[in-house]
Structure 1
Amino acid sequence: MSTAVAMNHASSRAESTTRSIERRSAADLPYERFLKEYLEPNRPVIISGAAPQWNAMRTWTPEFFKNRFGSLTVNVSYETKMKMSELIDAVLASTPEKPGPYLHKVIIYRDMPELLADLSPDNVYAFPRRYAGSLMQERFRRPDGFLKLLIGGAGGKFPLMHYDTDNSHAMITEIYGDKEFILFPPEDTQYMYPFANSSHTSEIENPDQADIVKYPLFAKATKYRGTVYPGDSILIPSAWWHAARALNPSISVCTNMMYRSNWPGFVNEACDPVAGGSSVNRLLKRAYLNGLGAVLTTCEGLQKAMPRGPLSRKLAEFAPRYRQQLPTEVDYPKHRRTAASQS
């Protein structure tokens, strides 16, 4: 490669503006302040000490998964299945130069319900949880917030930079190891080069190595960077683009959240013509979801006004706002409830 070509190639990977993701301590961040300062204004934050009550914080290690679930075959990605023992070996052998597989397709209550007891009581910041409400349409209902298990080794990462579907918020809690996150705000979507057939995934796989010649607008994007350590939770607000990279063997869990602040975007996505259905059906769905949003906002407001008592607990069946108002934590399928309620 000539000197001129090398210089042009280096300049094509120009660095965008970088800011640090704000960090707070759970000891100084009451839940209602979290709602007001971060969830409602759609601002990311890293919260240290977010779920000290989890037994997972004391027991989950790569060896724990290899010893207890070694013979279990898991969906690592859309294309790959592996035995857990083989996955853990590959995770421990992973390097930044030759990253191993990154587990991101395991839904805990569906695939490994034995783990639920180690994640109870729920993370107090993983609320409100409209997904768990009994009024949500069945195709959107996720009784535990759709808890996903994420395991990767050094250099391992989710295959695509993206933002979460349904316009949902994501709360990711690091249990073992360290993971670096890079986020971009919704207003930078115009610089993110989404795929033509997938508006929430980017053609840019690695934001640290983006080719600015191929993706020139990306240089205008504002990058937010932060690292989570064991016990930290990171809020990735709705429509925030993000990529994550394990710095060493890492275990974390992710849950999705819906609230009044991101409900309009959820309705728009659910009723998008791309989702299918006739125009009449989409209009009816939009009317139903808009009405449901108003009902759930009322339920959440009444829970805030009356956080204790039978009425509040009843309203929590429709839109659980607080951890302690969830009956038996979450309404898991009956044949899996035993594993969920051992704590």
Structure 2
Amino acid sequence: MKLTEVPKVDKITKEDFIAHYFKPQKPVVVSGAIEDWPAFAKWNLDYMKAVAGDKIVPLYDDRPVQHEDGFNEPHAKMKMREYIDLLKREPTRFRIFLWNVLKEVPELQKDYTYPDFGIKLMKKLPMLFFGGRDSYTFMHYDIDLGNIFHFHFEGEKECILFPQSETKYLYKVPYSLITHEEIDFSDPDYEKWPALKKAEGYRASLSHGDVLYMPEGYWHYMKYVTPGFSMSLRAIPRNPKNLAKAFYNILFMRYFDVFMRKIKGQKWIDEKNRKAILRTNRFNG
């Protein structure tokens, strides 16, 4: 894969952000943007354990999708304090995914504000993500193809990004938001996945307080180098094609996929994975 390092800037004006990153739809990492947030000084795993320790949290791992899995259905649950103890004790594949701050721990709202990057953010959808050392997400893009601001806290995180233009090289699974799950984007096997050699994307390393901007519909693979967590804020896509695709994903695609899993079972999942390989290799034949 041809990966360019995402540029990193120390703070940024909204005018510069709009001109150099939002309008051309290019990713950027901003440091120093949230140093005035109480969260910058307070938010770490111990603090989350203290304020949310009794909350039952949904956990996800990197097992392949099975036909009986519901849309974003967790693989396990446990109390937050037990989960954080696990993160600090040993490596684990369990991650927290799409945990709504407003709904679950309203007092955390006092620790952050909505930054002015020049575009309107969706204030009802601040989501938290947690992971242990070496845990990762499959390469995917978000169902709404939104503009994402990803704020990282504690530890180190690696991100690999691709614009939608590179989908033809990524072995996308039909009727889904993911690439083939057997691909290790940290160390891809180019003999098995030859089209990946043509993919052009970005790599970013995040530390405490960094903000990663991911443009509309960007594919992203996230790996926790050390235990940590992040919060995402988002804005709706502005490109009409992306907005139409978001409506298609939300109103039709996900329901059709769930329906077909019920009808065809694991055969549907296996068939989609085969098509991901056949279509990609045929296109790049």
Answer yes or no: same fold by TM over 0.5.
yes
Q: Equivalent residue of 1:208, what SS?
A: coil
Report if aligned partners of 1:94, 1:156 keep a CA contact under 8 Å in 2. Answer: no
Matched with 2:152 is: 174
Report if aligned partners of 1:188, 1:222 keep a CA contact under 8 Å in 2. Answer: yes
**1:125 counterpart (110, 114, 117):** 117
The structural deviation recorded for 1:228 is: 1.1
Letter in 1 for 2:129: L
Structure 2 stretches lacking a partner, 5+ long: 61-73, 256-285
Structure having the higher helix fraction is 1
Matched with 2:280 is: none
Aligned residues: 240
Report if aligned partners of 1:56, 1:118 keep a CA contact under 8 Å in 2. Answer: yes
Report if aligned partners of 2:15, 2:118 keep a CA contact under 8 Å in 1. Answer: no
Q: Equivalent residue of 1:104, what SS?
A: strand
Matched with 1:22 is: 7
The structural deviation recorded for 1:151 is: 1.6
2:240 and 2:19 map into 1 onto residues whose CA distance is 16
Report if aligned partners of 1:90, 1:100 keep a CA contact under 8 Å in 2. Answer: no
Q: Equivalent residue of 2:35, what SS?
A: coil
**1:241 counterpart (219, 237, 245):** 219
**2:244 counterpart (263, 267, 282):** 267
Q: Equivalent residue of 1:255, what SS?
A: strand
* Cα distance per residue 1:90-132 (max 9 Å; x no partner): 111343xxx342111311112222211112x212338323xx4
Q: Equivalent residue of 1:149, what SS?
A: strand
Which TM-score applies when normalising by structure 2? 0.77
Structure 1 stretches lacking a partner, 5+ long: 1-15, 133-142, 278-343
* Cα distance per residue 1:9-60 (max 9 Å; x no partner): xxxxxxx22211111111xx21121012111211000011111221111111
Matched with 1:75 is: 58
**Residue 90 in 1 paired to residue 91 in 2?**
no
Report if aligned partners of 2:157, 2:206 keep a CA contact under 8 Å in 1. Answer: yes
In the TM superposition, 1:98-177 aligns within 5 A as: 99-119=92-112, 121-125=113-117, 127-129=119-121, 132=122, 143-144=123-124, 146-158=125-137, 160-177=138-155
Letter in 2 for 1:110: K
Identity %: 25
In the TM superposition, 1:212-231 aligns within 5 A as: 212-231=190-209
Q: 1:191 to 1:94 in 2, by over 3 A?
A: farther
Matched with 1:336 is: none
The structural deviation recorded for 1:259 is: 4.9
**Residue 53 in 1 paired to residue 36 in 2?**
yes
Q: Equivalent residue of 2:234, what SS?
A: strand
Which TM-score applies when normalising by structure 1? 0.65
1:109 and 1:127 map into 2 onto residues whose CA distance is 21
2:145 and 2:96 map into 1 onto residues whose CA distance is 23
C-alpha RMSD of the superposition:
2.1
Report if aligned partners of 1:93, 1:100 keep a CA contact under 8 Å in 2. Answer: no
1:263 and 1:113 map into 2 onto residues whose CA distance is 34
**1:40 counterpart (13, 19, 23):** 23
Report if aligned partners of 1:57, 1:176 keep a CA contact under 8 Å in 2. Answer: no
Q: 1:74 to 1:208 in 2, by over 3 A?
A: same
1:52 and 1:188 map into 2 onto residues whose CA distance is 35
Matched with 2:259 is: none
Q: 1:178 to 1:75 in 2, by over 3 A?
A: same
After the TM superposition, list the runs of 4 or more consecutive aligned residues in structure 1 that deviate by more than 3 angstroms: 271-277
Q: 1:85 to 1:191 in 2, by over 3 A?
A: same
* Cα distance per residue 1:291-316 (max 9 Å; x no partner): xxxxxxxxxxxxxxxxxxxxxxxxxx
Q: Equivalent residue of 2:151, what SS?
A: strand
